[in-house]
Every structure is written in C-alpha cells, then in structure tokens.
C-alpha cells in the first residue's frame, strides 16, 4: 500500500520493501528502493557491506531501542566499513535498529574499516548497536552534519601493532585512531545525542599512538555532544588540533556523563597555541551540566570566549601540570589576544574525594563548590552499580546557574531539567516529592456503604499530573486520576467491616518524583456477631474425617461471608456461610494429638468479625486391622512362601505407615516395611516340614495404633526327592568292579537321610545308607550284557520317596569270535580250494584255540595251515583252511579206512611209474619220445588233484554245510570256550 509522505518539502509515494521476502539482501533492498521507501529487514544475520547511494529512504529492523536491535545483525563480508553514507544523504536517509559488527580492514592506509562511514553527508543513525569492529564505531569526515541518536557504540578495537597504517580508522586521511567510538575528522554540525559509548579500545600498544577511544574530534563547525554516557574507554574525549591546522570551531558538551575511563588526560579540550596575531580562529567550548567522575580534564592553549557551567567534577584532576607554561593560559588571559579571560567557570562542583586538591591553571569565576555531591551509588539504577543521582541532602541541588546557555529541556532520566527556576549541578535533576494528603469520608463508615477518599498532591510552580493508586495495606483497591488542581477522588463500598490502613501512592511525572500519602485508618462498622463451633467426633482417631460446623448469628440479621476453621494459628479451611448463617466443613488431616480448634467469622462489608470458643479436639492413634495371608499353602519344604500383611485403619483416611514383624509361633521370621498402600510382604524358605502357626505384628506409628493379625496355619510338606545315579565304569569286563553312586539334592541346606536300594532288571544289586545326601556301593557280579541299574529311595521326614534315572552298564565276558573270509566256498569236483579263518579276542580273552572240521561230504577232505592258534588279549590270529573233493587227497584205504595225505599220493604215483621208466632206459629199446611221454605223465600226476577216471572216487556235486569248530580255554579257565562256524561248501560238476 502506498501512502503520501511529505519530508523536506518533497512528496513521495512510500513503499515497503521486505528483506529477505522481497529482496534477498539489504543492499538489494536499498538498490530497489526509491526516495521515501522503507526497507524493512527481518531478524537474522546478514553478511554484507551496504551503501545508501544517496537515497532518502529508511532502512530499519523496526527496533525502537538498541537492545532490541540484537536480533538483526549486519556483519562485514569484505574489507571496509559495514554501512557507508557518501552520496549527499540527508536526515531523510535513516539507518535504524541494527547490530553492525565485525568490520575489518586490509592494513592499507586507504581502506577504512568502521561500523559506519559518514562522508560529507548528513544521515540519521538511530537505535543501533555498533560493536566489535576493527576500526571506529562511527567515522565522520567532510561537511557531515548527521544525527547520531540513541545508539550503543562499544567494544570497537584497534588492530595489532604490526599493522600501524590501519591505526587510523579514517583510512590515513587524519589521525583518528582505530578503536574509537566516534571519530570526527571534520564535520559541519553533527549532533551526537543520547548514545552510550563504552569499552572501546584504540590503544594497541604501539609506541606514540594517540589513544582517545571515546569521542575523537579534530574538526567541525559546531559539534554537539548531548546526553551521552561515555564510560570505560581509554580517554574519553579529544577535541582540537595542532598549530596551523584546521580545528573545530565550536564544541557543545551538554549534559554528558563521563566516568571510569582510563588515560593520562581523560578529557582533552585543546585550543590553538600560536605566537602571531594571524593565528587561525580559536575554538569555543560550551560545557553545561556534565558529570565527570574519575576523569582527568585537560584544557590546553587558547580559546574563544568559552563557558563551563553547572558541571560536576568528582575525583577529577582539572588542569595542566603547573610546570607546563601553557597551562596557565587555560582559563586566564591570552597574551596575544588582548589579555581577556577566555573561559568562564561558574556554578561547578569540583570535589577531590580523597585525592589531592586539583590544580587550577586559572581562577574559577563564581559560585563554584568543592563539596561531596552525595551520590546514591547503589545497584538499582539502569546504569548498574554506578548511580550518579544524588541524595536529597546533596549540596548540588538547585546550585546550578539557571542562566547558563543551552540548558536542555530534560535531564539524563528524561525528566524536567529545571525545578521552578532552579537547576542542579550535573546530569540528573533531583525533583521534589510532592506532599500528598489523603482524607476519607465518612470515617467511620457503615459496612456496605460507600466511602470516598480525597487525595491532594501539592505542586509548586508545576501541577502534578498522573494517576494515584489507592492501597488497603499492600493491596490495590483502585486508582484515581489527578485533575488540574492536583486533586483526585476515589469511592468504594467494598471495604469489609474492620479497620483499614489506606494510602495513596503517586508514581511521579515530568516534574515530580514518586511519593506516598499519609495513612488513613478507615474504620468500617457493622453489627456484632457471635460464632459457635461443633467438632464431631471428639475424640477422633488420627486422620479420621472430622465434621466442623460453625454458626454465626447477629441480632441484626443473618450474616454472610466466610468462616475460617483454625487449629491453633493454622488455617485448616475456609468455607462460605449458607443462607442460615452456617458453615460446614470436613477435615481428615489431623494426626494424633490435641488441637485447639476455633472458627473465625471473617468480617464482611456488613458484619463484624467474631471468633468461637476454643474446642479442644483429642485425636488418638487410629485403630488398625492387620490381615495376613500366605501363598502357596500348603507348600513344599524349601519352597518360597510369601506372607503378606495388609494394615488398614478403618476409621481413618490415612494409610498406616511403619513396619510389620512376621512370626512363626514365638520365632521371628523377619520384618517388612509397609508400602504406600499399607502392604508388607516377606518371603520365607526356612520353614520345616509340618504345620506352622504364623502371625504378623504391626508396630504402629505416631498416628496409628499397633495390631496383630489373624493366625494362619502354614502346612509344609516333604519335598519330592530328586535322585541322581552315576556308574563307573559303564563298560566293564565280566567280574570287573563297578561303582554305583546315588545322590539326593539337598533342599535349603537339608540333606536326605535313609537308605538307597540299587537294582537292575534281574533284581537287587545292593543297598547303602545315605551320608551327606549320597550313597555308594561297589559290585563285581553284574552279569554279562547291558544292565539297566536304578536307585530307589523310600523317603524320610523331609523328602518323599523317589527313583533315580537309569544307568546302563555294559558287561562283557572273556571270549573270542570266529569268522571266515569268504563266508562260503565253491569248488569243482575233483579239485580243491582255500579260505581264511580269523579268531578275535573278546573281553580280555587270551590262550590257545584249536580248529577242527566237523562232518565232511563223501571223499572231501579239510586241511588247516595251522590248526592251533595263539590268541593274545585284545588280539587276533589267522590261518588258512583248504577243502579237497578228489580221491588222492581223500582216498580211503579199504583196509584201514585212513585217508591219504597229499605226499603219500604222490609217492604212490611215482612208485607206479618209476619201473617203467627205468626199464626203458636199460633196454634202450624205447625211443626217446616214449621216455619223454613217461616223464610228462609223471609230472601231470604230480600237479593234478585228480583226474576223471584216473582215481578211485570224488565228491559228488552239491551244496554242503561243513561245521568248523574252534575250542579254546581262556586265561586258564576250567571250562573251554567253543564256537562253531557252519561253512557253506558248494561242489560243482
């Protein structure tokens, strides 16, 4: 929306440009703005350097004081000053409500790095915080005539001594040191008003550096410093120049507060020293109503007629060292300019405050004091612990010169600078506390009727204005506005019957300080009342619900209002009266004890207060009931049994506290603390087998009586025996000793007693008595095979009967095995074949084993390579069995029936053939071929087992079973061990 704005004779259409909503940066907003526009910047941090570029615009965050500017920050993005005015800006160019910080330079004498540069322009700079810049806070040069108002300029610093060129925040064009709050190199008529300039540090330690860190002025036509607080800097103020240089023409120091700054010459006001009448025009200094505290004030050289009035110098060295010959010119005559006095000093207070009396290089003009100004010096003021307001007995009150020039309209607090034709010395005016008279009518008044309070605030040459607050004690009951004669009226009918201390407080105004009136004791009357009290029951039990009944009576009607019930001085409760004048309440907060109960009728606007007679309420300890339960019941021996006691107070609203003791008959099982719900529990595992009579005793508390619970019979039964059986070894030889151990798990440290019986599938193995819960037997009589052994227990008083797990004991006898490989044999009739036999020791067997064949088929014979084998423990032995089916190996003599062995058969054949051979050789009548044939026949006869048609018999084809028997005596045993292997014998044609 555009509005018409008339400023300096020009009419513009005003537009608001929002940053960053409309433009991303502040500079972009400035670039887009036209004269009369507002650039409104949202809170945030903006890293940029801005230039107004000659535009008559307002750039603002909307802040109305520098503290509110903390949320909108502009900090330097590049070397140089953060904000620059250098293009003929006027007072219509406004920078308001920002924190400008972190300006930095490059070390070059041509680069300025200040918070704000004002170069030959006259902008308005308000409500900003300008801090933490390496350079000056604000730098002015040229014909600048800006308004610098209500800013905080602080913590600006100089760079390190290694960059001396940048000591000059003006970029090398003057001698203003970096780190100064405000530096004015030259100017027109700048106005520096209502700023705080503090904690600036321009002394970087460089030898010979000029250190003026508050305000530095070396030029200007008319420089105004008004209502500023300049503190905690290194040297406050420098004003002046050197011989034959341009210097400020006029300096106006109006109502500034200087304190706690550091420097040899804290305030230097320097004129011109010259030896010729053609010297430049000397400056004029007007210092009115300033306060200098702990500040060295130095006025040097010669001045135009100047004036210092109504100033307060405390703990301040005023003047030059008398050894400096030019110091005598400070306030005296100027020998080169007619010898007239040049500085008038009137109505100042110069107080050493324990320091040596200051040296004055010139006589003081008139009405000057040397008195303690009696500062308040507390920590309640807006400036902290340094409060330079004065007490009402101070000698500086009304001691100033009312005719001094340029007296401001307001003091540093913003209140009237004068009081009816008088003025105080210093920056604050002590305003009178106006007398306030308060009256009431009627007094006394009847309850429920209106009372009018009339207040008059006595003025002087001024009439007090504002609004009074009417107080009943410390409670506000209303306000009243002063009229043009300083009178105010307030009426109320709301005062209850009784005596009221009424005052009127005045907050002060432009001409007066706050004040309080006299106290009016307003008496409000009403009919008397009588209050009675009933308390039921009485006596009562602790925290029992108690009924309180108060009855308020009066001969002039039924009172209304409220009744407070009290125990001694403690209010128990407050309740309203009903239409019958009765108030009833119940309480349940009284513990055991005796209480003085009263009922107080609180005065109303109609009736007087009254208090009942005291009723002594006796509160005894509450009767309690303890209920006991257990779980589980019955329980097994060693099992956790939980006993739970619940304690209640049936007639009490409270829950009993304390502890419960659980007993088994007369034996204490243990204590337990009641919970917030009145329950206590105890877990027990120590009860023996049998019946137990359990009770719980509640010990009581300060408000609860002891009680004993019901009895419960807790039955504890024997526990099931848990039996574990082990056997060693579980693989045994026949006759080897085996150890069997049965263990019953103890419960609650109690071992089982009695006897354990051990048995297997064949019957009882043995028994043993338990010792420490374990029983052990040994036996060597377990039979061959797998024995399943168990242990059984018949129980005792603590444990019931039970049976253990089964343990398998594998018992192996002394033995051997007989195997054939292959397991069967096939042979052609009239032929023979062999197979292997193996015997293996079992169970530790050792000894000789004899092999033999059972019934053989017809003609067949069997032959062992070794028919008796030696078998060692856990060893094996082998031999070969040969079976034959012809008559040679199995031929039977018809006479003897004895089979021929292989060697006999060969000899028989050879005997038949040999005569024929020999005969042929002797007679030599046989051909060699016949001899060879005979020899071949002999060889064949020797190699063949049989030939069809050549031997008397052979085994007929068929399948036969031949029993192979192995007989051995183990380890010298009396009886042999025999195993028979039935071998399948197949004879083919």
**Residues 406-420 pLDDT 10s:** 999 999 999 999 999
For residue 301, what pLDDT band results from cuts at 50, 70 and 90?
low
What is the C-alpha separation between 789 and 806, in angstroms, rounded? 5
For residue 268, what pLDDT band results from cuts at 50, 70 and 90?
low
What is the DSSP annotation of 27-95? HHHHHH--TT-EEEE-SEEEE--EE-TT---EEE---SSGGGGGGEEEE-SSSB-SEEE-S---TTSEE
Average pLDDT over residues 729-742: 89
For residue 244, what pLDDT band results from cuts at 50, 70 and 90?
very low
Q: What is the pTM of this model?
A: 0.60
Which tokens hold the place of 677?
Answer: 């719900």
CA angle 557, 563, 567 (to 5 degrees): 145
On whether the CB atoms of residues 46 and 34 are closer than 8 A, the answer is no
Average pLDDT over residues 908-922: 42
Query: Is the pLDDT assigned to residue 240 strictly greater than 70?
Result: no
For residue 235, what pLDDT band results from cuts at 50, 70 and 90?
low
What is the DSSP annotation of 866-920? -SEEEE-TT-EEEEEEEEE-BHHHH-B-TTT-PBPPHHHHHHHHHHHHHHHHHHH
44-61 confidence digits (pLDDT tens):
999 999 999 999 999 999
| List of residues 6+ apart from 304 with CB closer than 8 A | 281, 282, 283, 284, 342
On whether the CB atoms of residues 250 and 221 are closer than 8 A, the answer is yes
In the block, which residue shows the tokens 């033995």? 815
Helix (H) or strand (E) holding 26: helix 26-32
What is the C-alpha separation between 62 and 83, in angstroms, rounded? 18
Say if residue 11 is exposed, middle or buried (CB neighbours under 10 Å; 0-12, 13-18, 19+): exposed
- When computed from its CA atoms, the radius of gyration of the chain, rounded to whole angstroms, is 65
Which pLDDT score, from 0 to 100, does residue 960 have?
94
Which pLDDT score, from 0 to 100, does residue 842 have?
82
806-862 confidence digits (pLDDT tens):
999 998 877 889 999 999 999 998 899 999 999 998 877 888 999 999 999 999 999
- Residue among 439, 408, 443 at smallest CA distance from 426: 408
Average pLDDT over residues 576-593: 95
- Residue among 93, 95, 91 at smallest CA distance from 138: 95
Q: Across the strands, what pairs with 728?
A: 739
- Residue among 400, 347, 394 at smallest CA distance from 372: 394
What is the C-alpha separation between 279 and 302, in angstroms, rounded? 11
Which pLDDT score, from 0 to 100, does residue 100 have?
97
Average pLDDT over residues 903-919: 42
| List of residues 6+ apart from 414 with CB closer than 8 A | none
Which pLDDT score, from 0 to 100, does residue 120 have?
94
Query: Is the pLDDT assigned to residue 724 strictly greater than 80?
Result: yes
For residue 209, what pLDDT band results from cuts at 50, 70 and 90?
low
What is the C-alpha separation between 978 and 424, in angstroms, rounded? 146
Which pLDDT score, from 0 to 100, does residue 440 have?
97
Kindly state the DSSP code that residue 390 receives in the 8-state scheme: B
Query: Is the pLDDT assigned to residue 584 strictly greater than 60?
Result: yes
The alpha carbon of 562 is separated from its chain's Cα centroid by a whole number of angstroms, namely 49
For residue 493, what pLDDT band results from cuts at 50, 70 and 90?
very high
Which tokens hold the place of 305?
Answer: 């007629």
Query: Is the pLDDT assigned to residue 281 strictly greater than 70?
Result: no
Which pLDDT score, from 0 to 100, does residue 232 have?
83
Helix (H) or strand (E) holding 937: helix 928-943
Which tokens hold the place of 524?
Answer: 């409000």
What is the C-alpha separation between 656 and 590, in angstroms, rounded? 14
For residue 200, what pLDDT band results from cuts at 50, 70 and 90?
confident
Average pLDDT over residues 595-609: 93
Average pLDDT over residues 670-688: 96
What is the C-alpha separation between 220 and 286, in angstroms, rounded? 15
On whether the CB atoms of residues 477 and 471 are closer than 8 A, the answer is yes
Q: Say what percent of the chain tops pLDDT 70.
A: 79
Say if residue 639 is exposed, middle or buried (CB neighbours under 10 Å; 0-12, 13-18, 19+): middle
851 φ/ψ angles, rounded to the nearest 5 degrees = -105, 145
Which tokens hold the place of 792?
Answer: 């059984």
Query: Is the pLDDT assigned to residue 895 strictly greater than 90?
Result: no
Q: What is the mean pLDDT of the chain?
A: 84
What is the C-alpha separation between 252 and 263, in angstroms, rounded? 22
Which pLDDT score, from 0 to 100, does residue 348 have?
92
Which pLDDT score, from 0 to 100, does residue 182 have?
92
What is the C-alpha separation between 905 and 139, in angstroms, rounded? 149
Query: Is the pLDDT assigned to residue 321 strictly greater than 70?
Result: no
What is the C-alpha separation between 964 and 836, in angstroms, rounded? 12
428-463 confidence digits (pLDDT tens):
999 999 999 999 999 999 888 999 999 999 999 999
105-164 confidence digits (pLDDT tens):
765 544 678 999 999 999 999 999 999 988 899 999 889 999 999 999 999 887 765 555
Distances (CA, A) of 959 to 827, 839, 861, 986: 10, 25, 15, 4
For residue 357, what pLDDT band results from cuts at 50, 70 and 90?
low
Which pLDDT score, from 0 to 100, does residue 970 have?
72
Which pLDDT score, from 0 to 100, does residue 523 have?
94
The phi-psi region of residue 582 (left if phi > 0; otherwise alpha if psi is between -120 and 50; otherwise beta) is: beta
Q: Say what percent of the chain tops pLDDT 90.
A: 64
915 φ/ψ angles, rounded to the nearest 5 degrees = -60, -35
Q: 281 or 538: which carries more pLDDT confidence? A: 538
């Amino acid at each position: 929306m555009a509005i018409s704005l008339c400023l300096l004779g020009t009419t513009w259409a005003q537009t608001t440009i929002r940053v960053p909503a409309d433009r991303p940066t502040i500079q972009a907003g400035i670039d887009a703005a036209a004269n009369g526009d507002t650039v409104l910047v949202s809170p945030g941090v903006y890293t940029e350097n801005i230039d107004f570029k000659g535009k008559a615009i307002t750039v603002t965050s909307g802040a109305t004081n520098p503290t509110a500017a903390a949320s909108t920050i502009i900090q330097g993005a590049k070397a140089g000053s953060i904000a620059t005015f250098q293009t003929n800006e006027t007072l219509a160019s406004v920078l308001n409500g920002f924190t400008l910080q972190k300006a930095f330079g490059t070390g070059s004498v041509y680069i300025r790095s200040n918070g704000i540069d004002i170069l030959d322009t006259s902008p308005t700079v308000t409500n900003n915080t300008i801090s933490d810049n390496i350079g000056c806070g604000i730098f002015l040069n040229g014909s600048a005539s800006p308004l610098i108002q209500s800013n905080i300029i602080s913590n600006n610093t100089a760079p390190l001594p290694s960059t001396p060129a940048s000591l000059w925040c003006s970029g090398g064009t003057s001698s203003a040191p970096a780190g100064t709050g405000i530096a004015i190199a030259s100017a027109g008529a700048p106005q520096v008003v209502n700023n705080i300039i503090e904690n600036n540090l321009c002394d970087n330690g460089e030898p010979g550096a000029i250190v003026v860190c508050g305000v530095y002025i070396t030029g200007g036509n008319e420089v105004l410093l008004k209502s500023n607080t300049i503190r905690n800097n290194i040297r406050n103020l420098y004003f002046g120049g050197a011989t034959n240089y341009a210097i400020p023409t006029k300096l106006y120091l109006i109502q500034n507060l200087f304190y706690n700054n550091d420097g040899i010459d804290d305030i230097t006001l320097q004129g011109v020293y010259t030896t010729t009448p053609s010297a430049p025009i000397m400056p004029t200094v007007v210092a009115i109503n300033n306060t200098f505290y702990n500040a060295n004030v130095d006025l040097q050289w010669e001045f135009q007629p100047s004036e210092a009035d109504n100033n307060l110098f405390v703990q301040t060295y005023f003047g030059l060292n008398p050894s400096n010959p030019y110091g005598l010119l400070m306030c005296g005559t100027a020998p080169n300019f007619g010898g007239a006095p040049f500085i008038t000093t009137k109505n100042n207070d110069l107080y050493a405050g324990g320091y040596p009396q200051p040296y004055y290089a010139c006589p003081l003009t008139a009405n000057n004091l040397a008195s303690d100004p009696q500062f308040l010096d507390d920590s309640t003021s807006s400036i902290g612990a340094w409060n330079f307001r004065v007490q009402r007995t101070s000698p500086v009150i009304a001691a100033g010169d009312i005719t001094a020039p340029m007296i401001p309209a307001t003091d540093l607090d913003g209140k009237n600078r004068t009081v009816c034709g008088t003025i105080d010395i210093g920056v604050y005016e002590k305003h009178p506390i106006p007398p306030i008279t308060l009256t009431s009518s009627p007094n006394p008044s009847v309850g429920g009727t209106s009372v009018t309070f009339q207040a008059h605030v006595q003025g002087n040459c001024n009439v007090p204005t504002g609004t009074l607050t009417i107080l009943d004690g410390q409670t506000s009951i209303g306000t009243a506005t002063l009229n043009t004669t300083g009178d105010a009226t307030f009426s109320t009918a709301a005062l209850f019957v009784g005596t009221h201390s009424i005052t009127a407080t005045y907050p002060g105004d432009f001409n007066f300080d706050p004040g309080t009136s006299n106290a009016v004791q307003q008496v409000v009357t009403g009919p008397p009342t009588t209050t009675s009290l009933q308390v039921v029951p009485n006596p009562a039990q602790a925290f029992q619900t108690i009924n309180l009944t108060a009855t308020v009576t009066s001969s002039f009607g039924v009172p209304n209002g409220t009744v407070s019930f009290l125990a001694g001085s403690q209010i128990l409760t407050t309740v309203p009266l009903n239409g019958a004048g009765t108030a009833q309440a119940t309480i349940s907060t009284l513990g055991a004890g005796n209480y003085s109960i009263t009922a107080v009728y609180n005065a109303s606007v109609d009736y007087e207060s009254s208090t009942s007679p005291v009723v002594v309420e006796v509160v005894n300890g509450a009767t309690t009931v303890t209920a006991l339960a257990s779980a589980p019941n019955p329980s097994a021996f060693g099992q956790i049994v939980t006993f739970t006691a619940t304690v209640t107070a049936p007639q009490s609203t409270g829950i009993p506290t304390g502890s419960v003791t659980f007993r088994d008959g007369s034996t204490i099982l243990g204590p337990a603390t009641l919970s917030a719900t009145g329950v206590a529990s105890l877990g027990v595992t120590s009860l023996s087998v049998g019946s137990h009579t359990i009770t719980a005793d509640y010990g009581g508390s300060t408000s609860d009586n002891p009680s004993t619970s019901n009895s419960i019979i807790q039955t504890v039964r024997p526990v099931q025996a848990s039996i574990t059986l082990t056997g060693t070894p579980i693989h045994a030889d026949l006759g080897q000793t085996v150890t069997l151990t049965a263990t019953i798990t103890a419960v609650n440290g109690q071992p089982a007693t009695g006897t354990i019986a051990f048995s297997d599938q064949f019957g009882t193995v043995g028994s043993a008595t338990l010792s420490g819960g374990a029983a052990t037997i040994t036996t060597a009589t377990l039979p061959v095979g797998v024995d399943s052994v168990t242990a059984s227990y018949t129980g005792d008083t603590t444990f019931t009967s039970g049976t253990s797990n089964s343990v398998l004991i594998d018992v192996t006898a002394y033995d051997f095995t007989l195997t054939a490989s292959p397991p069967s044999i096939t042979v052609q009739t009239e032929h023979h074949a062999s197979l292997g036999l193996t015997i293996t020791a079992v169970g530790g067997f050792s000894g000789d084993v004899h092999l033999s064949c059972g019934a053989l088929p017809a003609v067949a014979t069997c032959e062992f390579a070794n028919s008796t084998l030696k078998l060692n423990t856990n060893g094996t032995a082998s031999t070969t069995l040969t079976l034959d089916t012809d008559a040679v190996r199995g031929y039977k003599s018809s006479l003897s029936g004895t089979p021929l062995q292989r060697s006999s058969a060969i000899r028989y054949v050879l005997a038949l053939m040999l005569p024929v051979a020999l005969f042929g050789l002797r007679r030599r009548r046989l051909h060699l071929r016949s001899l060879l044939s005979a020899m071949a026949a002999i060889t064949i006869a020797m190699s063949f087992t049989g030939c069809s048609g050549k031997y008397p018999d052979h085994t007929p084809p068929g399948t036969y079973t031949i029993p192979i028997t192995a007989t051995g005596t183990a380890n010298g045993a009396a009886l042999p061990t025999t195993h028979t292997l039935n071998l399948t014998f197949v004879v083919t044609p």
